[in-house]
Amino acid sequence: GTMKRFRRHGHESQRDKHKQDLYQFNKTVEHGFPHQPSALGFSPSLQLLAIGTRSGAIKLYGAPGVEFMGLHDENAAVTQVHFLPNQTYPQLCNLLINFVYIHTQSVQSLNGFSGMVLCKSFACLRRLLQLRFVIADLFTATFSRIPEDYVGRRNLECVETLHENPLNPRQVLIGYSRGLMVLWDLDRQRPIQHFLGTQQLESVWWMEDGENILSSHSDGSYCQWTVTGEDPQTEPEKQEMPYGSFPCKAISKVIQLPSKQGPPFLIFSGGMPRASYGDRHCISVIHSKTHEALDFTSRIIDFFVIREGPSALVVLVEEELIVVDLQTEGWPVIQTPYLVPLHCSAITCSHHVSSIPLKLWERVQAAGAQQNTHYSKKPWPINGGQNLAPDPPQRDLLLTGHEDGTVRFWDASGVCLYPMYKLSTAGVFLTDADPNDNMNQGSEGEWPPFRKVGCFDPYSDDPRLGIQKIHLCKYSGYLTVAGTAGQILVLELNDEAAEQTVEATVVDLLQGQEGFRWKGQARLDVREEPVLFPPGFQPFALVQCQPPAVVTAIALHSEWKLVAFGTSHGFGFYDYHQRNNILVKCTLNPSDQMALEGPLSRVKSIKKSLRQSFRRIRRSRVSMRKHHTNNALQEINARLEAEALQEMELAPVQRKIEARSSDDSFTGLVRTLYFADTFVSDSSHSTPSLWAGTNGGAVFAYVLRVPSLERRAEDPVVAHAAKEIQLMHRAPVVGLVVLDGKGAPLPEPLEVAHDLARSPEMHGSHHLLVVSEEQFKLFTLPKVSSKSKLKLTAVDGSRVRRVGVAWFGSRTDEQLESSLVVLTNQGELHVISLPSIKMMVHYPCIRREDVSGIASCVFTKYGQGFYLISPSEFERFSLSTRWVVEPHCLVEAPLQMRPKNPSSPVHRDQPDGVPTEHRCVCSCVIVQKPLFLSCC
Amino acid sequence: MNKNHRVPSNRTLSAVEVKSKFGAEFRRFSLDRSKPGRFDEFYGLLQHVHRIPNVDLLVGYADVHGDLLPINNDDNYHKAISMAAPLLRLFLQRKEEADYSAFGTDTVTRKKTPAALAAVLLRPDANKKKPPIIISLPKDFRPVSSIIDVDILPETHRRVRLYKHGQEKPLGFYIRDGSSVRVTPQGLEKVPGIFISRMVPGGLADSTGLLAVNDEVLEVNGIEVSGKSLDQVTDMMIANSHNLIITVKPANQRNNVVRSSGGGSSGRSTDSNTSFYGYSTPGSMVMTPSHIIQNYEPDEESEEEEDLVIEADRGAKLFPQAGARATASTSMPALPRYEPHLDLRPSNGTMASSVSVGSLNACDRGLEGRNLEEEGTVITL
């Protein structure tokens, strides 16, 4: 007994050791653009960019690959971000980078002096900490010198801005929102000069000479004032209203910088004529005779200019970061290496392909380069820090499908998610939008001289174009994408532009079933004339499902040249070599009205009925008030209705407990499709096969006869129904995998032909793994009998949402083993061993309330994954000890800032958080992830 | 694989193959079908072949439907011999250890293979016969629900098993979030809980009378629900719906089962008769289903439910297969009809025993805190 127990114990610990060697969970990096950015900061000395968000996150970016991120404890918006360079402050020096941000609450705590801007020197900040008495002094001591008629009965309102003299940090300019500006001597504690502005003040800018001040105002004007004039100065030196005569919107920020050659650059945001362009988000750049109004597609948060030159204008708008090259003719935009707007059109699906062969990589890159000719050739101007991360181990592609029918290819090999190539499928179809409708360029001589910049464009011409499924074969360069209106496109990578007609095949998935009336969207109309496709992926075949319901599953087998597709009505497959459809199978349950009518009509009707009932309630309330109880009956009715409403609001959520039945809705919806060369009907000869799993727990298997290579063009591909499996628990089938004689998943098509995988073991029996939402079940092949299973839902109430096959290996051992990676509806990640289907590890990953995050998750073949944490950001995670892509970088502070005991750069295992001693106005930023924090 | 459906040979017309199992041992012998003899001779023969002359035995056999039926007199002995086709499977137990309530429907055929199923569904001669469901035991003998584990649960709790299989009735209840107040060492504490919120009239849950609105759900098939969301508990219940075991704390604490003395420490699951509500399960004896079932089918493969597999191979077996395709496509929607035969009694050995282990621990903990807990009132939100 004891012996046995000991042995088992030893076995257990060995197993645990094995798990530790293989699996480890990390959220490694956030890709994309932060959701709801609210503040922008830049350190010229460190060459770091900082972005604060409304949810309290701070992100720092330097050279590509150098990125840090911190999250404030409270969910408070970051309103301003400032670096405090070059000076060590005794209490703050525990950060190599002194970095301060103010969030809403702290600003409010400053006695209502809202909207205050901290100065860009730390000495000034220190004064600001004592601001209360400065302000008090101002009130008591300074107003004697302001003319009576200027002050009038108006009060000066709050301090809008504080700005120090660039040449003398002991002089601070205090701007009040009503227009008054006071130049203050910090040493003598008294005012030097008053500037009696008459317009509501928006911002001030002290020019580099230290003698001139620019102020911008709410009426769309800016003024220039001279510092060394008489006091008080009642009139500005110069007053301009750039977009003049008619009322204009405020200029929220104005800056002027000298240029190396010639006249200065004047840059300001806003100031547009209120009536005609009041809705535009513009920054105007004026240099010599060149004047452009950069027109952004979302609200401007802030901007700054990189000084030397000046070289570049960096603009943070609500949905993207745009850097304009000011040194190149025409001021082109520099492509950002990070902070890419993933969501320029809403992401509808994603697909990851690991270890792309170099050849394909270069071809995609080349196709992408031809799309990016309008970008500046200048290198990325922000280059702080060092990227110490090793080169990515392999080339990975992340493909995102978008609502506007585009597929974007991202280089996902490393820390920076970099755009490589964009494919648009809209050209194949006739849509309402005119492709020549060019919104990018204004006509000649237009005033203001608008120029559209940025790529955020949330408006989709036609929601039917939306991409739902993507599959790329990395060996052959064939790509298939499927969309919202039942369209499946097969594309081929071509290095040259080509003009071709896309042949459409309509496939009736209902197969003449009677009594159906599709109430959903119409099929997309296809262009009949040849279309010119640019170099890149070019469509050559199109299947359109009838009814045109959203495509719910696809599979591509590039060796057999077949594409399988499924919707809520059935599935089929198409031979893209001979360009004909081979098989159609209707899976629709005749009583399933819901699948029939199309989801759109259903949603509409729910919304409609909700709206109607609310309207009814509102009406009754109104009537209750109007006819003030003349009618007793009416009163009672109204009260009853109000009570019913109250009851509706208070009624607890309840769930019906009922066994699943065969006539539930959408049981015929095809959830997964899978091609496999395996033993479907006899144990001595393997054959090509197609497997399909439905929402109702059914699995269909077809044996395929694919002609030999020589006869591929002539002989038909034939499919025979071979098996049907109905899972008794009837849960949706979300994954199908065939395991070879050694228990490993079958390789991808062409993988063996390219010598990149060993041939599957065809001796010994193959197994079919059926993954339903509720359990994992292994069946023998060819005779389908249950071998083992693992229950999930019955045990812990969670359901499988995403599943993938991944390879894991320890850091030391070359040997890889395959496992299943699973994400549940509870947001937990599980690793399940193959072929033994045992739970290995599980980690909480996503909040269970974050349904869209869970739905967006995509796994890589090597145990990493991505999911959306906002419409514009992917979180990257890794379950693997061997493959982890995470930032690894170092920022070295200028010499005098180094702490006395120089410690080596700290890496990943540094405990999070830094003591926050300063709770007054500013708090130290807590840089959570890696590095460079070291305490004195 | 399909040992229950061996092709009859000439030999079997006269001889009956007997496979007798006692403990882990099997004995095989044959009997003349035409001259079976008397029961007491047969009983002696069994003691002899198993070499257990002085052991009192309880003899059971598996009938064609997979039900375990007793052999204890000449009549049922002759019936057993005449029905053997051709194999007569016997299960012997020591009388003192016997588990009577294992007798009943669907108790032996733990595993109907897909092939066997297909045979039932598709064999032309099977179709000629009346469907097995009609000749199975009377419906009254099918358990509908039971209170189990009375001896190991606190008296304030009730563990109810609902036998959904073979029922036309829906399970028929709803659950909701709520909170209950418990007395803890720290004082009164409000804890979130899951409650039954509604019963569908005429549903299975309603008809048992063992569950009621506002009962707090504590466990589903042996797994505690505390800390789980309403949706999780819903999914657990639906996933276990073929054999749902819910432990509740009834809102009405006046009808609690009073524990019989002496059973508490046994640690065994007990399937007690819910006689005070007038439900009948076959037999009225205490038993441990888990143990007996483990004896029958010690291998892991015992399946609660079998998936339906339809082969549509071309070639040699063309005729029946063609039939299979036709039947399959038309019978798919009507599948639930066959479920009673696929969806076997689920109290699988490993699971049931883990249930009782789990609940034993829960009980130990429960006993300490019980007095306090009983004072806790259930507040309905």
CB contact under 8 A, B171 and A658: yes
CB contact under 8 A, A785 and B114: yes
Q: Return d(Cα A866, Cα A857) in angstroms, integer.
A: 6
User: Is A383 an interface residue toward B (CB < 8 Å)?
Assistant: no
| Residues written for chain B | 381
pLDDT, position B209 = 83
**Token code pair at residue B78:** 């002759």
Q: Which stretch, A92-106, A142-156, A590-604, A672-686, has highest mean pLDDT?
A: A672-686
Quick one: average pLDDT of A484-489? 95
CB contact under 8 A, B314 and A720: yes
Quick one: average pLDDT of A90-108? 32
Q: Answer with the residue of higher pLDDT: A928 or A602.
A: A602
Q: Return d(Cα A412, Cα A395) in angstroms, integer.
A: 8
Band the pLDDT of A445: cuts 50, 70, 90.
low
Residue of B198, B300, B308 lying closest to A654 (CB–CB)? B198
Residue A930 has pLDDT above 50, yes or no: no
- Chain A nearest C-alpha distance from B285 (Å): 30
Quick one: average pLDDT of A215-222? 93
Q: Return d(Cα A110, Cα A118) in angstroms, integer.
A: 13
pLDDT, position B279 = 34
Cα-based distances in Å from A753 to A33, A690, A760, A895, B377: 40, 20, 12, 57, 69
Band the pLDDT of B68: cuts 50, 70, 90.
confident
Q: Return d(Cα B214, Cα B193) in angstroms, integer.
A: 11
Who's near B161: CB < 8 A, 6+ residues apart?
Answer: B145, B146, B147, B148, B243, B244, B245, B271
Q: Which stretch, A819-828, B287-296, B328-337, has highest mean pLDDT?
A: A819-828
For the residues of B70-100, what is the DSSP string, one character each?
EE-SHHHHHHHHHH-SSEEEEEEEEGGG--G
**Token code pair at residue A29:** 């990096």
pLDDT, position A221 = 93
Residue B278 has pLDDT above 50, yes or no: no
Residue A604 has pLDDT above 60, yes or no: no
CB contact under 8 A, A799 and B235: yes
Quick one: average pLDDT of A306-329? 91
Quick one: average pLDDT of A299-306? 93
- Chain B nearest C-alpha distance from A247 (Å): 57
Residue B259 has pLDDT above 60, yes or no: no
Answer yes or no: are the C-beta atoms of A592 and A663 closer than 8 Å. yes
Quick one: average pLDDT of B60-75? 84
Which amino acid, A844? P
Residue of A657, A720, A793 lying closest to B174 (CB–CB)? A657
**Least confident stretch, A214-218, A574-578, A751-755, B303-307:** B303-307
Who's near B123: CB < 8 A, 6+ residues apart?
Answer: B320
Answer yes or no: are the C-beta atoms of A853 and A873 closer than 8 Å. no
Q: Does the complex come out with an ipTM higher than 0.95?
A: no
| Residues written for chain A | 936
Q: Answer with the residue of higher pLDDT: A331 or B380.
A: A331
- Chain A nearest C-alpha distance from B306 (Å): 6
- Chain B nearest C-alpha distance from A853 (Å): 18
Quick one: average pLDDT of A133-138? 43
Quick one: average pLDDT of A403-419? 93
- Chain B nearest C-alpha distance from A184 (Å): 60
Residues 835-894 of A with CB under 8 A from B: 848
pLDDT, position A75 = 63
pLDDT, position A797 = 92
Burial level of B181, CB count in 10 A (0-12/13-18/19+)?
middle
Q: Answer with the residue of higher pLDDT: B168 or A864.
A: A864
pLDDT, position A16 = 83
CB contact under 8 A, B234 and A848: no
How crowded is residue A444: how many other Cβ atoms within 10 Å of its Cβ?
Answer: 6
CB contact under 8 A, B307 and A725: yes
pLDDT above 90 as % of chain B = 11
3-state helix, strand, coil in chain A (%, to 5): 15, 40, 45
Average confidence score pLDDT of chain B: 64
Residue A813 has pLDDT above 50, yes or no: yes
**C-alpha triplet B83, B84, B89: angle, nearest 5°:** 130
Q: Return d(Cα A821, Cα A817) in angstroms, integer.
A: 12
SS3 (DSSP) at A105 = helix
Residue A190 has pLDDT above 80, yes or no: no
User: Is A653 an interface residue toward B (CB < 8 Å)?
Assistant: yes
Q: Return d(Cα B86, Cα B19) in angstroms, integer.
A: 11
SS3 (DSSP) at A705 = strand
Q: Return d(Cα B180, Cα B381) in angstroms, integer.
A: 9
Residue of A589, A653, A793 lying closest to B235 (CB–CB)? A793
Residue A260 has pLDDT above 70, yes or no: yes
**Token code pair at residue A763:** 């001796």
pLDDT one-digit tens code per residue, B216-247: 999 999 999 988 999 999 999 999 888 899 99
HEC readout, A750-795: CCCCCCCCCCCCCCCCCEEEEEECCEEEEEECCCCCEEEEEECHHH
Band the pLDDT of B351: cuts 50, 70, 90.
very low
Instruction: State the count of interchain CB pairs (< 8 A) between A and B.
Output: 147
Which amino acid, A636? I
pLDDT one-digit tens code per residue, A73-88: 566 677 777 665 443 3
Who's near B59: CB < 8 A, 6+ residues apart?
Answer: B43, B46, B70, B71, B72, B90, B91, B92
**Least confident stretch, A1-15, A470-484, B41-55:** A1-15
pLDDT above 90 as % of chain A = 45
Residues 108-127 of B with CB under 8 A from A: 113-115
**Token code pair at residue A275:** 């009536």
CB contact under 8 A, B236 and A654: no
CB contact under 8 A, A795 and B238: no
Q: Answer with the residue of higher pLDDT: B330 or A862.
A: A862
Output Rg (C-alpha) for chain B, integer angstroms.
24
Q: Is the peptide bond before A547 cis (omega within 30 degrees of 0)?
A: yes
Q: Return d(Cα B215, Cα B181) in angstroms, integer.
A: 14
**Least confident stretch, A181-195, B220-234, B332-346:** B332-346
Quick one: average pLDDT of A358-368? 95
Query: Token pair 């459809």 is at which residue?
Result: A581
Residue A906 has pLDDT above 90, yes or no: no
**C-alpha triplet A160, A163, A169: angle, nearest 5°:** 150
pLDDT, position A433 = 57
pLDDT, position B53 = 84
SS3 (DSSP) at A106 = helix
pLDDT, position A159 = 64
CB contact under 8 A, A728 and B223: no
Residue B339 has pLDDT above 50, yes or no: no
Interface test with A, best of B309, B327, B347, B350 (most A CBs within 10 A): B309
Q: Return d(Cα B221, Cα A25) in angstroms, integer.
A: 31
Who's near B224: CB < 8 A, 6+ residues apart?
Answer: B218, B362
CB contact under 8 A, B174 and A848: no
User: Is B326 an interface residue toward A (CB < 8 Å)?
Assistant: no
Average confidence score pLDDT of chain A: 79
Closest residue by Cα to residue A62 from A438, A337, A413: A337
Q: Which stretch, A269-273, A429-433, B123-127, B374-378, has highest mean pLDDT?
A: A269-273
Q: Answer with the residue of higher pLDDT: A854 or B279.
A: A854
Closest residue by Cα to residue A668 from A722, A613, A726: A726
**Least confident stretch, B118-127, B168-177, B308-317:** B118-127
pLDDT, position A659 = 81
CB contact under 8 A, A656 and B232: no
HEC readout, A596-645: HHCHHHHHHHHHHHHHHHHHHHHHHHHHHHHCCCCCHHHHHHHHHHHHHH
**Token code pair at residue A783:** 């005779």
Band the pLDDT of B282: cuts 50, 70, 90.
very low
pLDDT, position B287 = 35
Closest residue by Cα to residue B59 from B25, B37, B32, B89: B89
pLDDT, position A248 = 92
Quick one: average pLDDT of A204-229? 89
pLDDT, position A792 = 93
Q: Return d(Cα A780, Cα A788) in angstroms, integer.
A: 9
Interface test with A, best of B307, B309, B337, B344 (most A CBs within 10 A): B307
Residues 682-701 of A with CB under 8 A from B: none
Residue B324 has pLDDT above 70, yes or no: no
User: Is B169 an interface residue toward A (CB < 8 Å)?
Assistant: no
Which amino acid, A564? A
Who's near A43: CB < 8 A, 6+ residues apart?
Answer: A50, A83, A85, A97, A384
CA diameter of chain A: 105
Residues 340-359 of B with CB under 8 A from A: 342-343
Closest residue by Cα to residue A455 from A402, A399, A415: A402
Quick one: average pLDDT of A826-832? 95
**Least confident stretch, B53-62, B181-190, B271-280:** B271-280
Cα-based distances in Å from A4 to A8, A53, A471, B350: 6, 58, 50, 20
For the residues of A158-199, what is the DSSP string, one character each?
-EEEEEE-SS-TTEEEEEETTSEEEEEETTTTEEEEEEE--S
Band the pLDDT of A320: cuts 50, 70, 90.
very high
CA diameter of chain B: 77
Query: Which stretches of chain B are DSSP H helices?
Result: 11-14, 39-49, 74-83, 114-122, 124-128, 132-135, 204-208, 230-239, 289-296, 318-331, 339-342, 349-375
